[in-house]
């Protein structure tokens, strides 16, 4: 194997005579770079790094000294406010608080208790208001899907009592009936549930585009009516049974 490798190596050199020269040039450039790196530039870089670290350490020390100074000043102020000796090292915050409490008068204590009670009462009221708002919002979200159905054109109950309208003197039967009535808006675009006429469809488009002057939306009216039978007295006081047309609204639509 070694013989074969040697033969291949010499064949490669014979075909590529510039290979050895290129390899030597590469090694030479690498050595030059290493010398430059180990020379003045390398020493200069190390010195700059050391100076930078020294400056950062000095800044940190100054910052720590400032912090220590402020803590010492605050400690002295606390001692003065409590009434302790600033030079003494043994300080107890609990004893200072006890002294302050002793200095409070009965009136001040009473006012403090009232303030606390007032704050608690306000917090309770705020919680109640927030709970009420949350309930109202949930109820609003619950009924929101049905609002559009209630607003749109639809048939609603309308019971007619003949006694209330003054017709019970001549109508024998029935005493009343459910005539229904139509109520609601005709929104754009009109769907098949509103059973619109062609004229109502065109009117809704004109109203939506605002191209006509004083053009309102179509009206919600009965589009199908039923008849009912009435038993009543005529002028000669004869009992008559008669069928009256268009007395009950069977369905509503936009016209």
Average pLDDT over residues 231-251: 89
**Has domain 154-254 been given CATH number 1.10.10.10?**
no
Among 223, 226, 143, 222, which Cα is nearest to 177's? 226
Per-residue tokens: 151: 């607003």
CA–CA dist 123, 129 (Å, integer): 10
Q: Is the pLDDT of residue 98 over 50?
A: no
Give me the helix-helix angle, 40-82 and 18-38, nearest 10°: 40
Model confidence over 27-56: pLDDT tens digits?
787 777 766 655 556 666 666 667 767 777
Among 79, 100, 97, 78, which Cα is nearest to 88's? 79
Say what the pTM is: 0.40
- Please work out, in degrees rounded to the nearest 5, the angle formed at the alpha carbon of residue 21 by the alpha carbons of 17 and 24: 145
Average pLDDT over residues 102-127: 83
Q: Is the pLDDT of residue 70 over 80?
A: no
Residue boundaries of the structural domains of the chain: 19-53, 99-151, 154-254
């Amino acid at each position: 194997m070694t013989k074969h490798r040697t033969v291949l190596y010499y064949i490669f050199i014979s075909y590529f005579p510039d290979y050895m020269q290129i390899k030597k040039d590469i090694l030479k450039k690498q050595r030059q770079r290493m010398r430059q790196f180990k020379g003045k530039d390398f020493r200069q870089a190390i010195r700059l790094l050391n100076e930078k670290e020294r400056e950062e350490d000095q800044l940190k020390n100054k910052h720590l000294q400032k912090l220590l100074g402020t803590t010492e000043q605050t400690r002295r102020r606390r001692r003065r406010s409590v009434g302790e000796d600033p030079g003494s090292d043994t300080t107890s915050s609990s004893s200072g608080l006890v002294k302050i409490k002793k200095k409070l008068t009965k009136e001040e204590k009473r006012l403090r208790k009232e303030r606390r009670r007032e704050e608690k009462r306000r917090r309770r009221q705020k919680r109640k208001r927030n709970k009420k708002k949350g309930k109202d919002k949930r109820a609003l979200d619950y009924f929101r899907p049905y609002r559009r159905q209630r607003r749109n054109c639809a048939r609603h109950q309308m019971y007619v009592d003949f006694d209330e309208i003054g017709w019970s003197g001549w109508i024998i039967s029935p005493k009343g009936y459910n005539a229904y009535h139509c109520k609601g808006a005709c929104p754009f675009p009109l769907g098949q549930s509103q059973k619109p006429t062609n004229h109502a469809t065109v009117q809704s488009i004109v109203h939506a585009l605002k191209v006509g002057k004083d053009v309102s939306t179509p009206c919600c009216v009965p589009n199908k009516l039923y008849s009912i039978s009435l038993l009543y007295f005529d002028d000669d006081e004869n009992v008559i049974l008669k069928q009256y047309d268009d007395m009950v609204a069977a369905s509503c639509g936009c016209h």
